[in-house]
């Protein structure tokens, strides 16, 4: 028995999310389906994070235990030959038996894209949240910086989570103008692409999307920077933070391990 680490990119638009479900197509389900003929038996794939329906990934990580003796490059080619074109395995590596994509992870990085312009590119439809009214980027960046450090993020957690603590450590939290970066195609008259990037030791359910909803409130002038700091003081209900931003602007950028 050997353990493989898979690094995966996917366009989450048409999937029910990472996790296999009773109905609908999932990333986990497709990977297990592609691996089964290579193993000659059903397999279980474990992901670093359970991205929701519509969320994308540039560097999702999964682990799987197999008896199959194919070398990593053969596995890479075989998997991509079986998978739909909106899921790509970027790398296959053989790792130690104690490696687990979820439990061995130390940090994750997410990115959220917003198109802040009166007109959105047609390519934004599934890949960025269109916010047409002007936003105060400097204040959003200031509020984003407040989130750095170890805090209680209960106000940014959606219901349905079974975690034992809502305390998380955020190492990086940055809001920037990304108009000159090549994240998305552009029609030439859209502009106004904003990117929020956050790196932490773990994230609660819908936490990044709740942060974005709160930062957009700040950008609209509906919330102050100091009010964001107050949300981190503990004992704060979800209703006091901003709305949950749409899933289609969110990307799992990468997962770091020891």
User: Could you read off the pLDDT of 202-242 as tens digits, one per residue?
Assistant: 999 999 999 999 999 999 999 999 999 999 987 678 888 99
| Predicted TM-score (pTM) of this structure | 0.95
Q: Residue 247 in contact with residue 158, Cβ under 8 Å? A: no
What is the predicted pLDDT for the residue at 187? 63
Strand residues in the chain grouped as ranges (E) = 2-10, 46-47, 56-66, 87-95, 105-115, 129-130, 149-152, 167-177, 193-200, 250-257
Taken in order of first residue, the domains within the chain and their CATH numbers are: 2-95 (3.30.70.580), 106-257 (3.30.70.660)
Distance CA 128, CA 114 (A): 5
Give the active site residue among 11, 52, 124, 201: 52
User: pLDDT at position 164, please?
Assistant: 83
Q: What's the length of the chain?
A: 258
Each residue's pLDDT tens digit, 79-89 = 999 999 999 99
- Predicted local confidence at residue 122, as pLDDT: 87
**How confident is the chain (258 residues) per 10-residue block, as mean pLDDT?**
97 96 95 96 96 97 95 96 97 97 97 93 91 96 98 88 87 94 71 94 95 98 94 82 96 96
Contacts for 13 with CB less than 8 Å, ≥ 6 apart: 54, 56, 86, 126, 248
User: Can you tell me the distance from the alpha carbon of 88 to that of 31, in angstroms, rounded to the nearest whole number?
Assistant: 10
Concerning whether 52 is annotated as a catalytic residue, the answer is yes
Strands (E), 117-229: 129-130, 149-152, 167-177, 193-200
Report how far residue 110's alpha carbon sits from residue 78's, in angstroms, rounded to the nearest whole number: 29
């Amino acid at each position: 028995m050997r353990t493989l680490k898979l690094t995966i990119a996917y366009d989450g638009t048409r999937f029910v999310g990472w996790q296999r479900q009773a109905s609908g197509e999932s990333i986990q389900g497709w990977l297990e389906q592609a691996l089964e003929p290579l193993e000659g038996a059903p397999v279980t794939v474990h992901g670093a994070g359970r991205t929701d329906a519509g969320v994308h990934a540039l560097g999702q990580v999964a682990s799987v235990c197999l008896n199959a003796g194919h070398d990593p490059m053969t596995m890479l080619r075989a998997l991509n030959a079986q998978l739909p074109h909106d899921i790509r395995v970027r790398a296959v590596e053989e790792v130690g038996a104690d490696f687990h994509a979820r439990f061995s992870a130390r940090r994750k990085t997410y990115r959220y894209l917003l198109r802040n312009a009166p007109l959105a590119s047609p390519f934004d439809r599934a890949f960025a949240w269109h916010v047409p009214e002007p936003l105060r980027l400097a204040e959003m960046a200031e509020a984003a910086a407040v989130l750095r450090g170890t805090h209680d993020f209960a106000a940014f957690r959606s219901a349905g989570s079974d975690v034992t603590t809502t305390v998380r450590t955020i190492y990086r939290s940055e809001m920037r103008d990304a108009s000159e970066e090549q994240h998305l195609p552009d029609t030439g008259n859209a502009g106004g692409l904003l990117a929020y990037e956050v790196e932490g030791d773990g994230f609660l359910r819908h936490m990044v999307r709740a942060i974005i909803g709160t930062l957009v409130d700040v950008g609209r002038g509906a919330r102050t920077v100091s009010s964001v700091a107050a949300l981190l003081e503990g004992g704060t209900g979800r209703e006091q933070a901003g709305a949950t931003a749409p899933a289609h602007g969110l990307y799992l950028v990468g997962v770091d391990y020891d």
